[in-house]
Amino acid sequence: MEYFNKEDIAAFEAYGNLEKPRPVSEALEFTEGRMRKAGVWKRNQLLGLRFPVACVALEITQRCNLDCSLCYLSEYSEDMKDIPLEVVLRRVDQIYKHYGPHTDVQVTGGDPTLRNRDELEQIVAYVAKLNMRPTLMTNGIKATRPLLERLAKAGLVGIAIHVDMTQERPGYASEKELNEVRKEYIERVRGLPISVLFNTTVFRENFHEISDTVSFLRSHADVVGFISFQLQADTGRGTIRERDVIINLDTVTAEIKKGLERPVDFNVLQVGHHDCHNYGMTLSINGNIYDLYQNADLTVELTHALKEIEMDRNDPVRTVGRIVAWCLKHPRYTVKGMRWVLEHLWRMKSDLIKARGKVHKLTVFAHNFMDAKSLECDRIESCSFMVMTENGPVSMCMHNAKRDDFLFQPIKMNTADGEQVWDPLTGKMNSDGPLVQLPELSKTAKMRRKRQEKLDSSVASNA
Ligand code: SF4
């Protein structure tokens, strides 16, 4: 396995900005090239076949109202002003130019709900206007129902809510107790026309609660459509560093499967590198889980056969219409497709009757971010999860490993007074082009660092 060394990381650059939109076919080819270079191009690979990127994070603030023990933000995040709206929209344009319509754009931060509400709404609306899919990544504290209604009206298609023990929410001593918070958020989003994901960071303290958390969330599959677990990673300002030996993609996936209580294959279709994540696609009917990819060979074959069809998740009726029209022209696949549907219906029949036809789609992920000090070259090369920076998209793990380099740089802007630069530390324009100097660490950051040093030395003396 090859790792980036310190110098490689320092020299690593984002993929750059594009002058005009790249045709989707070229974007797919570009991604396929990256997959091949990394040696992960296989027949069950979706990245580069169906879509050129799984998701692009658009960080609209570095501020947060929590201080998680596994936070990926920089020690200096609270010193950075929110980047101007014009710059955010310019980055949205770049996401479109790189990856085209239907791209998932995760509006994130810090916590994006801390951004000026009118600007947040404009950002969501602009992403939607370009026919991309804006989702909100939040800890939920300030994601009030009126705000979510407003954002849904502006075009928001989904919300990803992060709740877990790493957030150290006062009064909650376990994931089980945190289900009270999850329940409150579930009721808050109930009935909104957006998909709902719950995200949990896995660390030593909650590993044993993964399966119960899955059980709780799937018992709310009428609202929750996605369950995601991300493994702890040593990156950013978080105070927990070394990953516990028990935590890896296989052990976390095994715990998730326990919570699903029915066999689900997480490796039928791959998105990016096999060490980065895996996922299962299921239906929840009458409280029971059904693996939608049960027939692996047929799933892969149909995925390839249907690759030409534009899957517009914003308009499922039109997408189904396209699939039906395509099937009519390809009777061989119509027969196979019908067989697939009938097989599934037969398996589900008794629960379908009991649930009176109520079916909920439930997708379950495990995501394995890397430590900042051990970035694997092939995983960065085949990364499916990008962050949009001033200099184009870059792998999320690489971004986290050198956040300050990407964030604390003067940003060029065109103003009525000509080209000026925006200073991320002051939030002001300056025609002289200020040199950004990282400030003294804030009091909180200093305390955190001291706490960490103390922890490190006690670990060393116990070793
Ligand atoms: S962000 Fe990191 S863990 Fe996720 S796909 Fe990219 S390289 Fe892999």
Contacts of 120 (CB under 8 A, 6+ apart): 60, 107, 112, 113, 151
3-state helix/strand/coil string of 12-41: CCCCCCCCCCCCHHHHHHHHHHHHHHHCCC
Ligand 1 closest atom vs CA 380: 7
Contact (Cβ atoms closer than 8 angstroms) between residue 361 and residue 283: yes
Q: Count other Cβ atoms within 10 Å, centred on residue 74.
A: 23
What tens digit of pLDDT does each residue of 343-363 get?
889 999 999 999 998 999 999
The two tokens of residue 326 are 């395509």
If you measure from the C-alpha of residue 4 to the centroid of ligand 1, how many angstroms do you get, rounded to a whole number? 14
Q: Over the chain, what is the mean pLDDT?
A: 92
Report how far residue 119's alpha carbon sits from residue 86's, in angstroms, rounded to the nearest whole number. 10
Top-confidence residue, 417 or 286: 286
Ligand 1 closest atom vs CA 395: 6
Ligand 1 closest atom vs CA 54: 5
Ligand 1 closest atom vs CA 396: 1
Best probe residue, ligand 1, of 2, 47, 370 (max atoms within 8 Å of C-beta): 370
What is the percent of the chain where pLDDT is above 70? 93
Question: Which class for 206: exposed (0-12), middle (13-18), buried (19 or more C-beta within 10 A)?
Answer: buried
Q: For ligand 1, atom 3, name the residue with the nearest CA.
A: 369
Ligand 1 closest atom vs CA 379: 7
Contact (Cβ atoms closer than 8 angstroms) between residue 70 and residue 202: no
Instruction: Report, as an integer, the average pLDDT of 174-186.
Output: 98
What tens digit of pLDDT does each residue of 270-295 get?
999 999 999 999 999 999 999 999 88
> Of 67, 55, 62, 100, which is closest to residue 83 (Cα–Cα)?
62
Report how far residue 401's alpha carbon sits from residue 383's, in angstroms, rounded to the nearest whole number. 14
Domains of the chain: 6-294+358-407 (3.20.20.70), 302-354 (no CATH), 411-462 (no CATH)
Say yes or no: CB of residue 257 within 6 Å of ligand 1: no
Say yes or no: CB of residue 366 within 6 Å of ligand 1: no
If you measure from the C-alpha of residue 265 to the centroid of ligand 1, how many angstroms do you get, rounded to a whole number? 21
If you measure from the C-alpha of residue 369 to the centroid of ligand 1, how many angstroms do you get, rounded to a whole number? 5
Question: In which band, very low, low, confident or very high, does the pLDDT at 329 lie, cut at 50, 70 and 90?
Answer: confident
Report how far residue 74's alpha carbon sits from residue 380's, in angstroms, rounded to the nearest whole number. 20
Report whether pLDDT(462) > 60.
no
> Of 294, 264, 237, 238, which is closest to residue 366 (Cα–Cα)?
264
Query: Taking the model in full, what pTM does it have?
Result: 0.92
Element (H, E) at 422: strand 418-422
Say yes or no: CB of residue 235 within 6 Å of ligand 1: no
Best probe residue, ligand 1, of 382, 385, 389, 400 (max atoms within 8 Å of C-beta): 385
> Of 192, 178, 261, 177, which is closest to residue 223 (Cα–Cα)?
192
At 230 the three-state DSSP class reads: strand
| pLDDT value, residue 319 | 82
Report whether pLDDT(386) > 80.
yes
Contact (Cβ atoms closer than 8 angstroms) between residue 95 and residue 58: yes
Q: Which residues pair with 227 in a beta bridge?
A: 198, 364
Contacts of 438 (CB under 8 A, 6+ apart): 76, 79, 404, 408
Report how far residue 162's alpha carbon sits from residue 287's, in angstroms, rounded to the nearest whole number. 24
What tens digit of pLDDT does each residue of 27-78 get?
999 999 999 999 999 999 999 999 999 999 999 999 999 988 999 999 888 8
If you measure from the C-alpha of residue 397 to the centroid of ligand 1, how many angstroms do you get, rounded to a whole number? 6
Top-confidence residue, 216 or 441: 216
Best probe residue, ligand 1, of 229, 243, 375, 384 (max atoms within 8 Å of C-beta): 384
Say yes or no: CB of residue 394 within 6 Å of ligand 1: no
| pLDDT value, residue 444 | 65
| pLDDT value, residue 450 | 63
Say yes or no: CB of residue 72 within 6 Å of ligand 1: no
Give, to the nearest 10 degrees, the angle between helix 24-38 and helix 85-99.
Answer: 80
Contact (Cβ atoms closer than 8 angstroms) between residue 202 and residue 252: yes
What tens digit of pLDDT does each residue of 361-372 get?
999 999 999 999
Report how far residue 85's alpha carbon sits from residue 105's, in angstroms, rounded to the nearest whole number. 16
Separate counts of helices (H) and strands (E) for the chain: 15, 14
| pLDDT value, residue 337 | 82
Say yes or no: CB of residue 379 within 6 Å of ligand 1: yes
Best probe residue, ligand 1, of 276, 365, 378, 394 (max atoms within 8 Å of C-beta): 276
| pLDDT value, residue 240 | 84
